Amino acid sequence: HANGAVITRGSQPEVSWLLRCSKEDESMIQAIINACKDTLTANSIRGETNLNRLLILHLGTRDAAIEDYAKYYADSDVEFMNLPHIHATTSTQWLQHLSALIKAASYVVANVDKHNRPVLVHCSNGGDHTPQIITLAEIMLDSHYRTINSFQILVEREWIQFGHKFGDRCGHAQHTYSSLYGTFLCNTDFERTTANLEKKTLGVWSLLNIQSTQFINPSFNETIKEVLYPSCSIHNLRIWSNLYLCDMPVGSSERPSSTSTIQNENNNNDRQSTTCKSNGLPNLFKKMSRRRKRQDSNSTQRSACVRFFI
């Protein structure tokens, strides 16, 4: 950042069988602190002694063991965002999950932009929630990453090169079945190189980089260096029905409206629930699941056809 603060990422710090921290990890943390020493010193001069330390942001739930080993990292504070495990996203409450991700990214942005504080973001393996938060934070902080070419660089770096498990996580993605685009196939760069996907498949960027206004926001001005702080309220989130419900015929009684109606339940927990205008959402996902199973059985044949044309 222009103020000298940085955003770094990693997996959960290494701990031995005897719960001893890794000296290499400690050295790496100290290197980050040393690189931002001027920024942290400035916070101390302004009297913000609580902000002159590296923020280690653990995206998972609070863990006593993690809090215990944090004492080995000098000049660092550990905070927990309590994001649910990636597998928990399979059980509804989709908008609540999105809201939590935006809230976590906004917290990173505020620490970097407003408090000049370096942040280290990590989850259990560094490959799921970590790229989500890092990518959102960089887009919010820097208008440079809001252009098509720079967004491509961001995705390549934070998702593809860092080894997000696309093969395991995106089994539902349309072109994972068709194999038309090899950009997001497999789990690692090594697997993609071994499979020679660069020659056997097309790259999705070849489609997005064409000179077309289809993906252009006419009101966007890259010269405006504005830091974004989007609302994380579920009242302002909508289901992207054209993507996630594309198999449902338009006008179908089982296809919910693109605008979600948020209702407040006055129960003992005072929790919020998200409901769509259609009451057929559970049946919708059951039908989509059955449709995907049929697609799975035909995926080999479709993939073979695509490879033939390539």
Active site members: 123
Nearest one of 117, 97, 127 to 9, comparing CA atoms? 127
Q: C-alpha dihedral over 102, 125, 91, 235, to 10 degrees? A: 0
Asked if 42 and 116 touch (Cβ cutoff 8 Å), the reply is yes
